[in-house]
Amino acid sequence: MNKTLLKIGGSILTNKTGADISSIKRIAKEITNKNKLVLVHGAGYCGHPEADRLLGKSEICDIYNTHRAVSKLNSIFLDFLSDEIPVVPIHPLNVVIANDGRITAFDINCIKNALENDILPVIHGDIVFDRVRKFCIVSGDQIISYLARRLDVDKVGLATDVDGVYLDGKVLEEITEKNISKVLNQDYHLGKTHDVTGGMLGKIKELWGLSVESVIFNGSTVGNINRFLSGEPVGGTIIKPSRIEDL
């Protein structure tokens, strides 16, 4: 059976004071269809400020401050998820190596073993060791892109705090080879004080080139995450498979 990849943006799990408990509770209750699901989440305000301060520094020991922030959010999320379904955390710091900011090694056996045992693996954006930079930030979006190319995936979703990808003031129904150049030339404002992972443009670049269809949709809309997992329409912007592998 093929697998579903879902990334929940940190923007809908956190607010300016930290973890958004009411939103986390609501999302946890929506994740009822966990069959062959791999769940990834961002850090939002629980990690981006620490990462922002860390970038450009050379003190290896500062890795812990960023990892602690993102893993704390992961623990809070899993606490609520575990009320509904069996879950296990997977921390990229322990299983990922990067090279100049891009993942080059990822032990995904832990993900496969969790799925084989009907356990939901929950991964998060994290700081990891990097062969060139000593360490770097690996976003949840990059993790989704990496896993989509290495797991038998038939559905990929990115739940964000907006309705999709905007072009000329309107939400695009789909991104294809016909409009990708125009989309990539847009000025997408990050909209957050702290975002070191590329914002909407970064998401589009990570999803473009996948061999499977993906969708960017509004996970802040009540019921949308459950609808996505159930195979129902969620609106948003569909990114069609492309022959182009790299941008």
State yes or no: pLDDT of 240 exceeds 80: yes
Residues 231-237, mean pLDDT to the nearest whole number: 95
pLDDT value, residue 145: 96
Of the pLDDT bands very low, low, confident and very high (cuts 50, 70, 90), residue 44 is: confident
Report pLDDT digits (tens) over 87-134.
999 999 999 999 999 999 999 999 999 999 999 999 999 999 999 999
Alpha-carbon span 67 to 128, nearest angstrom? 9
Of the pLDDT bands very low, low, confident and very high (cuts 50, 70, 90), residue 247 is: very low
Known binding-site positions for substrate: 43, 48, 140
pLDDT value, residue 16: 87
Residue 17: helix, strand or coil by DSSP?
coil
pLDDT value, residue 60: 57
pTM of the model: 0.88
Known binding-site positions for ATP: 7-11, 44, 161, 199, 203
Report pLDDT digits (tens) over 130-163.
999 999 999 999 999 999 999 999 999 999 999 9
Known binding-site positions: 7-11, 43-44, 48, 140, 161, 199, 203
pLDDT value, residue 186: 81
For the sheet with 153-160, list strands across it.
87-90, 120-124, 37-41, 3-8, 153-160, 214-218, 237-239, 174-175
State yes or no: pLDDT of 56 exceeds 80: no
Enter the tokens of residue 183: 């989309």
Candidate from 82-91, 102-111, 189-198, 213-222 with smallest mean pLDDT: 189-198
- What domains are there in the chain, each with its CATH number? 3-239 (3.40.1160.10)
Residue 98: helix, strand or coil by DSSP?
strand
- The CA-to-CA distance between both ends of the chain, in Å, stands at 31
pLDDT value, residue 190: 40
Alpha-carbon span 52 to 192, nearest angstrom? 12
Give percent above pLDDT 90 in the chain.
Answer: 72
pLDDT value, residue 180: 93
Alpha-carbon span 60 to 49, nearest angstrom? 17
Of the pLDDT bands very low, low, confident and very high (cuts 50, 70, 90), residue 5 is: very high
